[in-house]
């Protein structure tokens, strides 16, 4: 691909002089005023103080996803990719300017991930990628994100408690930092050339370092904060660059401050910003926190900073921060009040938010309050105007990112004394409509959930006894091999599902096509020698959406896409009401697949906690109540699968760790109900029915005892992309007596590991795990890979398992 400068776009004059290929976002629903009714050629700051923390970059119809994948496949050029990106940024900035937003962010766009962008900015490239200095190019950038034929990708994990994944920096004492990506200043100038003055946004130095990990070969005890003095000079260079370009504001995102930091970490935070004080002179500085309350000690540290102009707080998930603000907020500082939810899709209760703003006015003064989003809008869908599947009533209850921008401005105008009475009246009517709608409440479901709380729903026998009974029935070899569930989703397969939904093909033709795909997947697994098979999930669009479409209380969008990582987007269901299962969801397909083979065929289900955490969840009742409703629905499905003769049932809980609250004091309550919800799903099956679960792309070591308490018979869990971090918990003496399959290769990279490499991984696992409980499997599902990659990787995986199996037999 060549050493092309990361996002170093050609001069605007050289870009095609044509209107953007993307329509500007709209501001549906109709009760909100249009943000696109005018197109000024130059945008001036509004009197009302309004601010957006960040905005989705994928585009209203996933334009960035398709541009990236086309570029990676070699079908389009760098210029094509950069033009799509430039048009997306232009559309986003103009939407905010048209809506009246005063403080508009820049540098929130990314080709893959904002933490990876910061790694590029700091020149912190691991040596295996062969970077020799200079501006980071796309080849190095995407190799870090995705790996390449010769080296693996960097680790990927969840961004706090969201479903967004970031690329984890790998740092050590010998890392040499340098200013290696000028992306922030390039985008600021790009917006300025459009007549839009923006807020450049940087991941703050504390958040960057504390979300990093020691590089391979570096002691795990290495203090990442010891690098603070090495990265601050690069931040100072960036600040000087931005000031020279005309920036007047800078936003540092420091969400790490909502975590439980110790005294030394908070002191390092204060010292870092004190050391940057001279470089920040001449700039207004915002430090933005989000996702939870700021603890009292962190709040005190924040308030001590003299170089900061404003502080941003999440007042949706962090209501207790209000008490701290009431007790102490420094005079003369700006308070960026995050009252519009950046993580859910429900329309803001404008009257309630206005009351919160008026409370803040009494504390800090009207002129010091800036209306903002609770966090970046990256975590919500892009634009409600693109939705054609939602009915009118449900649509009136919602607001996507484009609409939330308008809500922020409406609140800012009202707060400044220009209240749109018609708008507020309409909003109140829609809030009341949702509260009183009969489609929201099912009394019998609520009674069932109340009864659930009377038992802990544990299976009647110990896992060691169950495993013996299952082995007699399944007769599996040592180190049994399996995959996680999905097989490649080809273009033809997606087309068939679309045509069936659109009623362009008959149900008979559809079932026959899916059956043929099953036969292909089953035959491939048998030829490769896989021990426990899957049907490949050809009938499924998404592991959550597929189930939600068959449960009551769920609604679905046509374009409600949200970025999960890179080009990977998900379309979360909307849980608006009480949940029930009208009929069996997977029994027909699983029974069909089991008849194609004599080997065990897993019934594949998504667990209640994952369905909850990967959906937009109703905010009118506690989350655990909704989770228990889903658990009861999945329980019915599990028992129907067992009756149909399915003897291995996998209930994926990929997102269990993701929902863990950020504060230690809140974690036990979450883990108790989340684990309970999982146990509800399978508490009624026989000992001979083997229950699997799967988890991926999070740090599971700190919740290992809760994972054990789930009482699954077998757990498959991501391990290889995170450099086998999972195994360290077993080195520390944790005993795990159930079956366990730490992943032996990373499925998110096109790289194919050799049989020898996989065998070495298995040996490392056997150093801490008994061969009687160890399974061999990939990190995750194979949906995103192609069949050429899958065949080669699985062939090597089976060969490695057989090799180690033979060595065990000899010993």
**pLDDT tens-digit readout, 161-193:** 999 999 999 999 999 999 999 999 999 999 999
State the residue for tokens 């026959």: 512
- Alpha-carbon distance 778 to 483, whole Å? 6
pLDDT band at 711 (very low <50, low <70, confident <90, very high): very high
The better pLDDT of the pair 36, 509 is held by 509
- Alpha-carbon distance 357 to 415, whole Å? 7
State the residue for tokens 């389009």: 76
pLDDT band at 41 (very low <50, low <70, confident <90, very high): very low
pLDDT band at 454 (very low <50, low <70, confident <90, very high): confident
Task: Examine the pLDDT at 691 and tell me if it is beyond 80.
Answer: yes
- Strands of the 616-617 sheet, one edge to the other: 552-555, 574-580, 616-617
- Alpha-carbon distance 330 to 326, whole Å? 11
Nearest to 169 by CA among 130, 211, 137: 211
Q: How far apart are the first and last CA of the chain?
A: 49
pLDDT value, residue 149: 86
pLDDT value, residue 220: 81
Lowest-pLDDT choice from 222-231, 406-415, 494-503: 494-503
- Alpha-carbon distance 790 to 617, whole Å? 35
- Alpha-carbon distance 717 to 726, whole Å? 9
Give pairs for 36-42: CB < 8 Å, separation 24+: 36/95, 36/98, 37/98, 38/98, 39/94, 39/98, 40/97, 40/98, 40/195, 41/195, 42/195
Q: Is 635 in contact with 682 (CB distance < 8 Å)? A: yes
Query: What does the block give as tokens for 37?
Result: 């009714």
Q: Is 380 in contact with 56 (CB distance < 8 Å)? A: yes
Is 748 assigned a catalytic role?
A: yes
- Alpha-carbon distance 568 to 553, whole Å? 26
The better pLDDT of the pair 9, 663 is held by 663
Tell me how far CA of residue 786 lies from CA of 486, 494, 719, 750, in angstroms.
12, 14, 21, 9
The better pLDDT of the pair 231, 388 is held by 231
pLDDT value, residue 40: 36
Chain-centroid distance of CA 596 in Å reads: 36
Q: Is the pTM of this model over 0.75?
A: yes
- In tens, the pLDDT along 520-551 reads 999 999 999 999 999 999 999 889 999 999 99
Task: Examine the pLDDT at 197 and tell me if it is beyond 80.
Answer: yes
Q: How many CB atoms lie within 10 A of CB 809?
A: 9
Q: Is 474 in contact with 647 (CB distance < 8 Å)? A: yes
- Alpha-carbon distance 635 to 680, whole Å? 7
Chain-centroid distance of CA 87 in Å reads: 25
- In tens, the pLDDT along 548-602 reads 999 999 999 999 999 999 999 999 999 999 999 999 999 999 999 999 999 999 9
Q: How many CB atoms lie within 10 A of CB 169?
A: 24
Give pairs for 563-566: CB < 8 Å, separation 24+: 563/56, 563/57, 563/58, 563/164, 563/378, 564/163, 564/164, 564/165, 565/112, 565/113, 565/156, 565/164, 565/165, 565/166, 566/68, 566/112, 566/113, 566/145, 566/146
How does DSSP assign 729-777, residue by residue?
HHHTT----SEEEE-SS-TTSS----HHHHHHHHHHHHTTS-TTTB-B-
What residues does 50 pair with on adjacent strands? 371
Mean pLDDT, the chain, integer: 91
């Amino acid at each position: 691909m060549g050493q092309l400068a990361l996002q170093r776009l050609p001069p605007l004059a050289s870009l095609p002089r044509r209107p953007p290929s993307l329509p500007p976002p709209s501001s549906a629903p109709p009760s909100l005023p249009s943000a696109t009714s005018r197109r000024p050629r130059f945008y001036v700051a509004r009197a009302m103080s309004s601010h957006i923390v960040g905005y989705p970059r994928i585009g209203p119809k996933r334009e960035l996803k398709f541009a990236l994948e086309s570029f990676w496949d070699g079908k389009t050029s760098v210029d094509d990719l950069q033009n799509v990106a430039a048009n997306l940024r232009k559309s986003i900035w103009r939407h905010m300017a048209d809506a009246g937003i005063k403080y508009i962010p820049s540098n929130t766009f990314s080709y893959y991930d904002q933490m990876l962008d910061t790694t590029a900015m700091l020149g912190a490239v691991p040596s295996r990628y062969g970077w020799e200095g200079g501006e980071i190019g796309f080849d190095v950038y995407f190799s870090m994100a995705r790996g390449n034929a010769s080296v693996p990708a960097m680790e990927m994990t969840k961004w706090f408690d969201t479903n967004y994944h970031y690329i984890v920096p790998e740092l050590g004492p010998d890392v040499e930092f340098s200013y290696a990506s000028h992306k922030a200043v390039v985008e600021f100038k790009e917006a300025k050339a459009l007549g839009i003055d923006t807020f450049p946004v940087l991941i703050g130095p504390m958040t960057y370092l504390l979300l990093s990990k020691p590089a391979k070969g570096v002691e795990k005890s290495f203090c990442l904060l010891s690098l603070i003095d090495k990265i601050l000079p690069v931040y100072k260079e960036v600040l000087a660059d931005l000031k020279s370009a005309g920036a007047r504001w800078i936003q540092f995102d420091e969400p790490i401050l909502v975590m439980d930091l110790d005294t030394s970490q908070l002191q390092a935070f204060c010292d870092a910003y004190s050391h940057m004080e001279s470089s920040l002179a001449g700039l207004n500085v915002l430090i933005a926190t989000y996702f939870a309350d700021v603890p009292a000690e962190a709040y005190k540290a924040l308030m001590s900073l003299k170089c900061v102009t404003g502080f941003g707080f999440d007042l949706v998930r962090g209501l207790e921060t209000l008490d701290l603000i009431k007790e102490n907020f420094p005079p003369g500082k700006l308070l960026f009040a995050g009252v519009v939810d950046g993580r859910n899709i429900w329309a803001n209760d404008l009257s309630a938010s206005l009351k919160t703003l008026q409370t803040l006015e009494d504390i800090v003064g009207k002129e010091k309050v800036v209306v903002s989003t609770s966090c970046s809008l990256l975590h919500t869908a892009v634009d409600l105007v693109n939705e054609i599947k939602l009915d009118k009533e449900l649509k009136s209850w919602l607001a996507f990112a484009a609409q939330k921008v308008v809500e922020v401005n409406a609140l800012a105008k009202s707060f400044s004394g220009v209240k749109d009475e018609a708008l507020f009246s309409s909003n109140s009517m829609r809030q009341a409509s949702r509260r009183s709608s009969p489609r929201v409440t099912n009394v019998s479901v609520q009674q069932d959930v109340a009864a659930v709380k009377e038992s802990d729903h544990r299976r009647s026998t110990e896992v060691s006894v169950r495993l013996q009974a299952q082995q007699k029935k399944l007769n599996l070899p040592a180190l049994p091999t399996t995959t996680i569930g999905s097989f490649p989703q080809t273009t033809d397969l997606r087309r068939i599902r679309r045509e069936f939904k659109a009623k362009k093909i008959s149900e008979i033709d559809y079932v026959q096509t899916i059956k043929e795909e099953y036969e292909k997947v089953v035959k491939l697994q048998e030829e490769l020698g896989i021990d426990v098979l899957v049907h490949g999930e050809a009938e499924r669009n998404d592991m959550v959406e597929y189930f939600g479409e068959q449960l009551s209380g769920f609604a679905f969008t046509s374009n409600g896409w949200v970025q999960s990582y890179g080009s990977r987007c998900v379309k979360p269901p909307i849980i608006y009401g009480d949940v029930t299962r009208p009929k069996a969801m997977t029994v027909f397909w699983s029974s069909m697949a089991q008849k194609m083979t004599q080997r065990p065929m897993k019934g594949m289900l998504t667990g209640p906690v994952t369905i909850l955490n990967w959906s937009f969840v109703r905010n009118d009742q506690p989350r655990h109540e909704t989770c228990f409703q889903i658990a009861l629905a999945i329980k019915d499905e599990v028992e129907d699968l067992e009756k149909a003769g399915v003897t291995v049932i996998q209930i994926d809980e990929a997102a269990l760790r993701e929902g863990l609250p950020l504060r230690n004091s809140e974690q036990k309550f979450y883990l108790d109900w989340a684990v309970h919800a999982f146990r509800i799903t399978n508490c009624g099956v026989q000992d001979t029915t083997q229950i699997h679960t799967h988890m991926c792309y999070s740090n599971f070591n700190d919740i290992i005892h809760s994972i054990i308490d789930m009482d699954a018979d077998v757990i498959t869990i991501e391990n290889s992309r995170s450099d086998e971090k999972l195994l360290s918990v077993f080195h520390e003496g944790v005993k795990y007596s159930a079956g366990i399959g730490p992943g032996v290769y990373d499925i998110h990279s096109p790289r194919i590991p050799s049989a020898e490499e996989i065998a070495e991984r298995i040996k490392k696992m056997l150093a801490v795990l008994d061969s009687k409980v160890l399974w061999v499997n990939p990190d995750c599902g194979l949906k995103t890979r192609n069949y050429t990659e899958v065949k080669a990787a699985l062939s090597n995986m089976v060969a490695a398992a057989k090799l180690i199996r033979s060595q065990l037999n000899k010993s």
